[in-house]
Structure 1
Amino acid sequence: MSRVHTDFKLTTAEDSERVGPGDDVTLHCHLSPKTSAVVMTIRWFKGTECIYLYKNGQVTERSGYEGRVGLTVPELEGGNVSLRLRDFRRSDVGRYRCQVIHGEQKEEAAVGLEVTSGKGSVTTVHVNIHLSNNNN
């Protein structure tokens, strides 16, 4: 039986936005073609640590990120698995990885949150995109 209809890739958008301490940042990641992610397992990592897990409608957030990270659940239907990061802190700068698993397919996309310049309390955060797809 063909499983072509469930095949998907992760796409991201390179972005640059000005944020200050306490602002919100979005790490963009979408399924392509648009596929509902409601029944998929979605993990977001910072470095090697899983900071957010969505599985079977249940959410687990890593200590230190509770209430600060999340997906827009209604948008999962359209394949939007972007991570919202609230209350930006300098410690949030680093490499993030989105992992989406559906059945035997696993896709990953890496996103880097980098500070490119800062004047006063305003910082320009550059979201760098590094795609790496792993088909298992």
Structure 2
Amino acid sequence: MKTSKVKMAVSRVQNQFKLTSEVYLEVKVGKEVTLPCHLSPDTSAVATTIRWFKRTECIYLYKNGQVTERSGYEGRVSLITQELKRGNVSLRLRYFRESDTGVYICQVIHGEQKEEAAVGLWIRGGKCSRTPVMFLNT
């Protein structure tokens, strides 16, 4: 009996997670990009609610195995579903457009826990390796 209580306590601890991501990415127009977001420690995300926002608009929702995509993103956004068991909730964005630049928020909800992480997505330009916007406050 004590053994099962210990196992339950361990599983509760394992349900606690954080999200890890990149600060920003650069991509060329027309290309595919993956906005990285992972549960840490590696925890299955299959039974979670996953939302990806661009600013305040939800562009992708995964809940109970069902997917909803915002208008303008249909067929261009997806999760790597076979990676959900390993905690990979990264968003794949195809056919990158100039209008896709901006800050994206990955939100994962499991039970009472809600975590968020941000990724900036910018156009990769000619000779400059970083987007000038990143230096405005320096």
Structure having the higher strand fraction is: 1
- In structure 1, the partner of 2:19 is 10
Q: Which runs of 4+ in 1 moved over 6 A?
A: 123-126
Which of the pair has more CA radius of gyration? 2
Taking every aligned residue pair, what percent have the same amino acid on both sides?
Answer: 70
- Alignment pair present for 1:60 and 2:86: no
Structure having the higher helix fraction is: 2
Give TM-score scaled by structure 1 length.
0.81
Structure 2: 5+ residue stretches without partners: 1-7, 132-138
Give TM-score scaled by structure 2 length.
0.80
Please report the RMSD computed on the Cα atoms of aligned residues, expressed in angstroms: 2.1
- In structure 2, the partner of 1:88 is 96
Q: Distance in 2 between matches of 1:50 and 1:125?
A: 27
The change in CA–CA distance for 1:91 and 1:29 in structure 2 (over 3 A counts) is same
Contact in 2 for aligned 1:115/1:124 (Cα 8 Å): no
Q: Distance in 1 between matches of 2:88 and 2:97?
A: 24
Contact in 2 for aligned 1:96/1:111 (Cα 8 Å): yes
Q: What is the SS of the residue equivalent to 1:110?
A: strand
Q: Distance in 2 between matches of 1:103 and 1:36?
A: 13
